[in-house]
Amino acid sequence: MKVRLLFLILLIFLFAHAHLCADLEEYFLQEVRIRGNSVTKEQYVRSFITLEEGKRYDLDGIITEINISRDNLLKTGLFSDIFFNDEVDERDNLIITVQLKEKNYFLFGPTGYIVYERQKIRSEAGLFMEYTNLFGKAGTFYLEIPLYENVGFLLTYRGGAGTVRFTAEAEYQYSLKENDEYAQYTPGISYRFSSDLLLGFDLSLNDGTHTSSIFQPFLEIGKKERYSYKVKKWMYSRISPYYGIDLSSGSFYGAAAQIRFYRDLLLKIIYNVYIKADIQDGDIPENLALRVDVRGTFPEDRIGNKRFSFINELHVPLPWAGSIVIVPFVDTNLLGDNRLEFFLGGGLGVHWFTRYQDPLITEIAFGKGVMLNLRKRF
Confidence of residue 102 (pLDDT cuts 50, 70, 90): very high
Would you say residue 216 has pLDDT above 50?
Answer: yes
Mean pLDDT of 102-111: 92
Confidence of residue 182 (pLDDT cuts 50, 70, 90): confident
What is the predicted pLDDT for the residue at 100?
Answer: 95
Say whether both 244 and 146 belong to one domain: yes
What is the predicted pLDDT for the residue at 170?
Answer: 97
User: pLDDT digits over 138-180, tens only?
Assistant: 899 999 999 877 889 999 999 875 688 999 999 998 888 778 8
Say whether both 155 and 235 belong to one domain: yes
Among 2-11, 237-246, 296-305, name the most confident range.
237-246
User: pLDDT digits over 34-44, tens only?
Assistant: 999 999 999 99
What CATH number should be reported for the domain holding residue 87? 3.10.20.310
Mean pLDDT of 337-348: 94
Q: Is residue 6 part of a domain?
A: no
pTM score of the predicted model: 0.84
Say whether both 51 and 114 belong to one domain: no
What CATH number should be reported for the domain holding residue 198? 2.40.160.50
Last residue of a domain, one of 47, 68, 102: 102
What mean pLDDT value characterizes the chain?
Answer: 88
Say whether both 212 and 76 belong to one domain: no
Confidence of residue 20 (pLDDT cuts 50, 70, 90): very low
Mean pLDDT of 90-101: 91
What is the predicted pLDDT for the residue at 24?
Answer: 53
Helices of type H across the chain: 2-23, 42-46, 59-74
Q: Is residue 5 part of a domain?
A: no
- Cα–Cα distance, 204 to 170 (Å, whole number): 10
Q: Is residue 289 part of a domain?
A: yes
Among 3-12, 224-233, 292-301, the least confident range: 3-12
Last residue of a domain, one of 46, 78, 102: 102
Q: Indicate the residue type of 106.
A: F
Cα distances from 122 to residues 31, 110, 247, 297, 368, in angstroms, run: 60, 16, 31, 10, 13
Q: Is residue 97 part of a domain?
A: yes
Last residue of a domain, one of 55, 82, 102: 102
Would you say residue 121 has pLDDT above 50?
Answer: yes
Confidence of residue 187 (pLDDT cuts 50, 70, 90): very high
Say whether both 243 and 283 belong to one domain: yes
User: Is omega for the bond preceding 317 within 30 degrees of 0, making it cis?
Assistant: no
Q: Is residue 2 part of a domain?
A: no
Between residues 82 and 229, the one the model is more confident about: 82
Mean pLDDT of 71-85: 89
Domain housing 249? 106-373
In order, the DSSP letters of 10-70 are: HHHHHHHHHHHHHHT-EEEEEEEEEES-SSS-HHHHHTT----TT-EEEHHHHHHHHHHHH
Q: End-to-end CA distance of the chain: give it in Å, rounded.
A: 83
What is the predicted pLDDT for the residue at 230?
Answer: 82
Mean pLDDT of 226-230: 79
Would you say residue 214 has pLDDT above 90?
Answer: yes
Say whether both 274 and 202 belong to one domain: yes
- In percent, the amount of the chain with pLDDT more than 90 equals 61
What is the predicted pLDDT for the residue at 22?
Answer: 47
Say whether both 81 and 203 belong to one domain: no
Say whether both 161 and 95 belong to one domain: no
Q: Is residue 303 part of a domain?
A: yes
Mean pLDDT of 4-33: 61
What is the predicted pLDDT for the residue at 269?
Answer: 94
The answer to whether the beta carbons of residues 157 and 137 sit under 8 Å apart is no
Q: Structurally, how many domains does the chain consist of? A: 2
Mean pLDDT of 64-70: 93
Would you say residue 215 has pLDDT above 90?
Answer: yes
Confidence of residue 223 (pLDDT cuts 50, 70, 90): confident
The answer to whether the beta carbons of residues 37 and 47 sit under 8 Å apart is no
Q: Is residue 8 part of a domain?
A: no
Q: Is residue 185 part of a domain?
A: yes
- Cα–Cα distance, 136 to 254 (Å, whole number): 37
Say whether both 98 and 120 belong to one domain: no
Mean pLDDT of 9-31: 61
Say whether both 258 and 314 belong to one domain: yes
What is the predicted pLDDT for the residue at 175?
Answer: 83
Backbone angles phi, psi at 19, to 5 degrees: -65, -40
Say whether both 51 and 163 belong to one domain: no
User: pLDDT digits over 257-284, tens only?
Assistant: 999 999 999 888 999 999 999 999 998 8
What is the predicted pLDDT for the residue at 238?
Answer: 97
Confidence of residue 228 (pLDDT cuts 50, 70, 90): confident
Say whether both 169 and 115 belong to one domain: yes
